[in-house]
Structure 1
């Protein structure tokens, strides 16, 4: 059973530094299904310290080791597709068949594509008389949205693992369960402790603490333009890399006379 009242830090499920939670609402019924713990700066500090320690060794792993790790993650992920789909359907409102096939399937697709790329990726490449060496950047902070939970999580986590980075994930507080299942998958697959860490929480608290943390080397954020501006401002004093996907797009225009049945 998924434990929504703990975080995954340094290879273990741990209690929050401060006991605080919020209700997760079913958008179909507008009823509260359960509570999920909310983190604080203290939880972020703990997760970052674990990721920083783990980077010293994980960054030195070989391509073959990372290929084997991603292969194992994919194997376990496939066995939990229906569970992931059910969680996504309950929390963000996608119809169950879509949640299983497309929502959970999108996460699997990112994992598989990353594995294929990693197998033949050129970490060293001669350019003229020089040699270009591509190295892991360090500790990566990841903030993901509610609307495609596993898609956005996997498309950030998988490349970071392939590159040899360590990470802290803050999923949306509206859709936490699929992220917690993903943490269980990584744990079962044998991801070394401290490489992947998960802290649930609110953007103005956990997200802000991650964005300005001096020991996070990069922030990958998907969300609103308003929040993205705040992330960029908080990240600027530590000159960390910031990668952002902001704002809404792809609207659906429904014309008069459309068959809505």
Structure 2
């Protein structure tokens, strides 16, 4: 097996932060263990930064900002493409790190976690080739300029993917950055910092400070020299970041929780609609904010849907994330495992019909945060399992009688991040999609589009990521009136 811990230069960098182009010892003294969720054993120890470390990283980013902001878009694109190439060259190393630190099946880390992350970098570089940072509107110039120093806070569930989804567009826009990755899955972030260093980015353009949310995350959010905060995390974390950032009136972009619906219309081919929907719900062990965890189906087809669901889950292989045959590894950490177990118990207490799965580990497993892929049916929209984000391999099936009722159920949560619609009459599929209050709607399981803006309505967040829209989150708009008048 590729050893991501050993690759961090004999593990010395595990106790460092990357600031101003060099690896420094943090001023903070607290440590945190990186736990392998498949064994519940520690595999590495990191040193956590503190507010003084944040000050140093922000100062480095502030000093680097004028030159990076003034650089040509083509130059920034070349750096980004060099970074992408290094990540692809080290893809097996990154995949191993992700499997080790958060339990993703190695096949999934190789096929999705790493290549999708690299795509964000490619897209950011590609957009720089055509993006117009200055446009004329009559004699007025509309100029888009980098907002400044950006604090980027990323989660544990897609540790590399979420880093590149923020860092790549921010750097493309001409901003400088300070990253706080999750302290629960820091290995891929440190490997990413190594790649940035090896790609030759100017010192201070990208910085990493490991630490907790209450310490490093709050220090970034409150810092007067941070111009923007971008967070991917829970809705609760988004509220805390927004409150802290309000003191200095900085821009805040939030990608938060979800309880995404998957409406199966009456004319849908169930053989094409159900199994892929379950796969989408439970990929990454259901630990995706946009996972379609509510399958909304015609009541008269409920029994057939249940049969397909049980058969589909029966083909999953839950086990050692480094085994080639494994489709689903463990839940990423103990706190999340405990929540998944608690919510499965809640669903059973609420009277939902358990189709497969249930509480506890799969048969024969005595250690590791392994959960049974679980499907509930005959779920009502007012049940907790239909309203709360579980963030695990748990699907709820909700029956409906009319399409209007299906849309009402789809919109009946505080969230609005993703959604799916399945059907053969595309006019009807499109019409239903227009009625769903969500930032991204997928029709009949299309291919992933890295240029499609991603973000939420309601309590699922503020702002958009991915593609051109993601880069524009990091830009200010300036109007220079009279710019085109003759001298």
Query: Could you say whether these structures have the same fold, taking a TM-score greater than 0.5 normalized by the shorter chain as the test?
Result: yes
Corresponding residue for 1:125?
A: 135
For residue 245 of structure 1, report the CA deviation from its aligned partner: 0.6
Give, in angstroms, the shift of residue 260 of structure 1.
2.6
d(CA) in 2 for partners of 1:71, 1:203? 31
Residues in 2 aligned to 1:24 and 1:75: alpha-carbon distance in whole angstroms: 27
What residue number does 1:5 align with?
A: 15
Runs of 4+ with >4 A deviation: 253-256
Q: Give the structure, 1 or 2, with the largest relative contact order (CA under 8 Å, sep 6 or more).
A: 1
2:230 pairs with one of 215, 220, 226? 220
Q: Distance in 2 between matches of 1:46 and 1:83?
A: 29
What are the within-5 Å matches in structure 2 for residues 158-173 of structure 1?
158-173=168-183
Count of residue pairs the alignment pairs up = 261
Alpha-carbon contact 1:24-1:35 (below 8 Å) kept? yes
Shift of 1:110: 0.3
SS in 2 for 1:134: strand
Alignment of 1:88-237 (within 5 A): 88-237=98-247
Distance 1:253 1:31, change over 3 A: farther
Q: 1:56 aligns with which of 59, 66, 91?
A: 66
Distance in 1, Cα, partners of 2:187 & 2:97: 6
CA distance in 2, matches of 1:252, 1:65: 42
Q: How far 1:129 sits from its partner (Å)?
A: 2.9
Question: Could you tell me how far 1:18 is from its partner in structure 2?
Answer: 2.3
1:260 aligns with 2:270: no
Q: How far 1:126 sits from its partner (Å)?
A: 1.2
1:108-153 CA distances to partner (integer Å, 9 max, x unpaired)?
0101111111111101111233111110100000000011111110
Structure 1: distance between partners of 2:70 and 2:127: 19
In the alignment, what sits opposite 2:346? none
SS at match of 1:172: coil
Indicate the RMSD between aligned Cα atoms, in angstroms: 1.4
Unaligned segments of structure 1, at least 5 residues: none
Distance 2:236 2:121 in 1: 30
For 1:128 and 1:92, locate their aligned partners in 2 and report how far apart those are by CA, in whole Å: 53
State the alpha-carbon separation in 2 of the partners of residues 77 and 119 from structure 1: 21
SS at the partner of 1:64?
helix
Deviation at 1:252, TM superposition (A): 3.8
Alpha carbons 1:216, 1:240 under 8 Å: kept:
yes
Contact 2:15–2:47 (CA<8 Å) still a contact in 1?
yes
The CA distance in 1 between the partners of 2:88 and 2:191, in whole Å, is: 12
TM-score by length of 1: 0.96
Q: Is the radius of gyration larger for structure 1 or structure 2?
A: 2
Deviations 1:79-125 (A, max 9, x none): 11110000001111110011122001111010111111111110111
Q: Does residue 17 in structure 1 map to residue 3 in structure 2?
A: no
Shift in Å at residue 251 of structure 1? 4.6
3-state secondary structure, aligned to 2:179: strand
Question: Is there any run of 5+ residues in structure 2 with no aligned partner, and where?
Answer: 1-6, 260-290, 296-305, 316-487
- The alpha-carbon deviation at position 253 of structure 1 amounts to 6.2
* Other-structure match for 2:92: 82
